[in-house]
Structure 1
């Protein structure tokens, strides 16, 4: 099977006078990962398709090194598998498996919210409120890319506010695994504003020091995120 070309076939350079391969390879690999993850979740790259390193390097106008690094990032999320004698192949995640992953994510994030409500310093609470306010402006503007980045910062602030290093590391690891799916939710109509409103319930509970309310609000939020992500992926691949 051959690759189906998605939108935006070449990556934009920050400095047009500087070759892409001289830019930060980590940043470039992450950009490639995002493009390929979007193609997979949008159904442009179907399960079983082999990802050709040379073809992708030509498609995006880069060397093969960042493509290999992007493959590693995709493999960490489970979107692709490295198979002997077959190379890198797009995998298929069942709705049941995705639901299980979000169920675990919901419990971990909810526990972080509970502890954050109990343990955040005054400065951390102010920072969380500020992030939430910035996210609100982005949601109203309909800026999906910027809101997605702010969303990551928002949740990371809650993980850190739990003041439990192991829990924070666990939450970040699971979030990284689910990152492409969480990103997909924002393509669902009206999801930006709903996401912000769900965050609002979490923030209010944390600022009031109500651990139980924070736990339930964030657990409900992640459950809704999982449903929205699964719905989008299902419609894209159907």
Structure 2
């Protein structure tokens, strides 16, 4: 399938490969050959190489000497552990943001929140995800802690595909937006305790939310397999 719209082709390409990894169409150990992928998606090897680099940064693939790029394996237990750490980091960023945010941070945060609201109204979970990403990075920036910003951004990249796919779960976008509303209020009201707690709860995946994520991934894998038959 040839990708249209040159300006957003790299993003769409990465998302297409990412989706096939998450749904099991490209299982762990699957070799990602640049030439084969370029032919399949109707693009040159340059955007393929860029997409693979981004996916390697996110930990979805491994680039091995003499073997090239292969799909990595991330088990459920490891996934939960990563979300637990992400929740802790984001909670800390929220606490610091409540104490340290500037007028510019306030504008960035409220603008990002409004963009999330507009995206949610379209019903497009992927559009919401990208505005959601901007929202969280606004919180990191408002923490005014360069090291924490780097750590949050790095783990955010690592969890990006899972954070995106969990928004496909029914009502998750609406719930996420409501959670954002409370987070923004806590930060702007200088309530560090509430900001930390709300962000931790917003990020951590456990219980029903973890089951929903796994079910969503399983459902998409089954749908992909059925199409292939």
Q: Which residue of 2 aligns with 1:17?
A: none
1:60 to 23, 26, 41: 41
Residue number in structure 2 paired with 1:221:
202
RMSD of the TM alignment (CA)?
2.1
Q: Choose between structure 1 and 2: higher helix proportion.
A: 2
For residue 13 of structure 1, what is the aligned residue in structure 2?
A: 5
- Residue 189 of structure 2: aligned partner: 208
Between 118-127 and 159-168, the greater mean CA deviation after superposition: 118-127
The TM-score with structure 1 as length reference comes to: 0.84
Give unmatched runs, 5+ long, in structure 2: 223-229
2:138 maps to what in 1? Answer: 157
Q: 1:52 to 1:123 in 2, by over 3 A?
A: closer
Deviation at 1:206, TM superposition (A): 0.7
Contact 2:105 2:141 in 1 (8 A): no
1:232 lines up with 2:220 in the alignment:
no
Report deviation, 1:221: 0.3
Distance 1:123 1:66 in 2: 35
The Cα of 1:122 is off from its aligned counterpart by 3.1
CA contact (8 A) 2:168 2:216 kept: yes
Structure 1 234/104 Cα, relative in aligned 2: closer, same or farther at 3 Å?
farther
> Structure 1 residue 110 and structure 2 residue 94: aligned?
no
Q: Is the 8 A contact 2:80 2:205 kept in 1?
A: no
SS at match of 2:128: helix
| Aligned positions of 1:123-142 closer than 5 A | 123-142=104-123
Superimposed CA distance per residue, residues 125-160 of structure 1 (whole angstroms, 9 cap, x where no aligned partner): 233223212312321221223211110110011000
TM superposition score normalised by structure 2? 0.87
| 225-234 or 211-220, which deviates more | 225-234
Q: Judge conservation of contact 2:58–2:159 (CA < 8 Å) in 1.
A: yes
Q: 1:179 aligns with which of 160, 166, 181?
A: 160
Displacement after TM superposition at 1:233 (Å):
2.6
User: Which residue does the alignment assign to 1:46?
Assistant: 27
Q: Output one character per residue of 1:74-128: Cα deviation in whole Å (capped at 9) or x when no partner.
A: 1121211223443322122100111111111111111000000111123422332
